Amino acid sequence: QVELVESGGGLVQAGGSMRLSCSASGGASNIDVMGWYRQAPGKQREFVAGLTNGGPIEYPDSVKGRFTISGDNKSTVYLQMNFLKPEDTAVYYCNALIPGQSPTWGQGTQVTVSP
């Protein structure tokens, strides 16, 4: 059973930067894709970034040019977030996809961007 642990959230001022980390354990070698989603209060969870064997998945317009995913897609991924905006405030969740299984989620880490 794959487990994901996120770290690196917190409070930052608008325009600042923050780096999130996610580590996978327990069968991580079966992971095909690792990535990040976020969920703001009252909104649906949305895709932020993903990393496959072939490289990063295209970023959504909301974060393109500001967020960068790195690492490998088997055990550890990072999300570098630059030029943060108040609308980036959300709980950020690490996600792992294993063929034939339901997606695995981390516990989430809060990112708060003050104006």
- Asked if residue 73 has pLDDT above 70, the reply is no
Q: What is the mean pLDDT of residues 59-76?
A: 92
Q: What is the mean pLDDT of residues 20-27?
A: 92
Nearest to 84 by CA among 68, 65, 102, 66: 66
Mean pLDDT over the full length of the chain: 94
- Asked if residue 74 has pLDDT above 80, the reply is no
- Asked if residue 84 has pLDDT above 70, the reply is yes
Q: What is the pLDDT of residue 1?
A: 85
Q: What is the pLDDT of residue 26?
A: 86
Task: Determine the distance from the C-alpha atom of residue 76 to the mean position of all C-alpha atoms in its chain, rounded to a whole number.
Answer: 11
More confident: 26 or 106? 106
**Measured distance CA(112)–CA(108) in Å, rounded:** 13
Q: What is the mean pLDDT of residues 91-112?
A: 95
Q: What is the pLDDT of residue 27?
A: 76
More confident: 26 or 65? 65
**Measured distance CA(69)–CA(59) in Å, rounded:** 9
Q: What is the pLDDT of residue 109?
A: 97
Task: Find the distance separating the first CA and the last CA of the chain, reported in whole Å.
Answer: 40
Long-range contacts of 45-51 (CB under 8 A, 24+ apart): 45/93, 48/79, 48/92, 49/79, 50/95, 51/77
